[in-house]
Amino acid sequence: MKILLLGYGKMGKNIEAIALDRGHEVVGKINEENIDDLNNFNGDNVDVAIEFSRPEAAFENCLYCADNNIPVVSGTTGWLDRKEEIETKVQNNNGAFFYASNYSVGVNIFFKVNSFLARLMNKHPEYNVKLDEIHHTEKLDAPSGTAITLAEGVLDEVDRKESWVNSDTEKVEELEIESFREPGVPGTHSVYYSSSIDEIEIKHTAHSRQGFALGAVLVAEWILDKKGVLSMDNFMDF
139 is catalytic: yes
Which one of 135, 161, 189, 204 is the catalytic residue? Answer: 135
Closest CA to 4 of 33, 18, 25: 25
- CA–CA distances in Å: residue 223 to residues 125, 183, 229: 42, 34, 10
Measure the CA–CA gap between 19 and 226, rounded to whole angstroms: 19
- CA–CA distances in Å: residue 199 to residues 119, 192, 224: 16, 7, 44
Which one of 83, 136, 139, 227 is the catalytic residue? Answer: 139
Measure the CA–CA gap between 187 and 182, rounded to whole angstroms: 10
Measure the CA–CA gap between 32 and 226, rounded to whole angstroms: 29
204 is catalytic: no
List residues with catalytic annotation. 135, 139
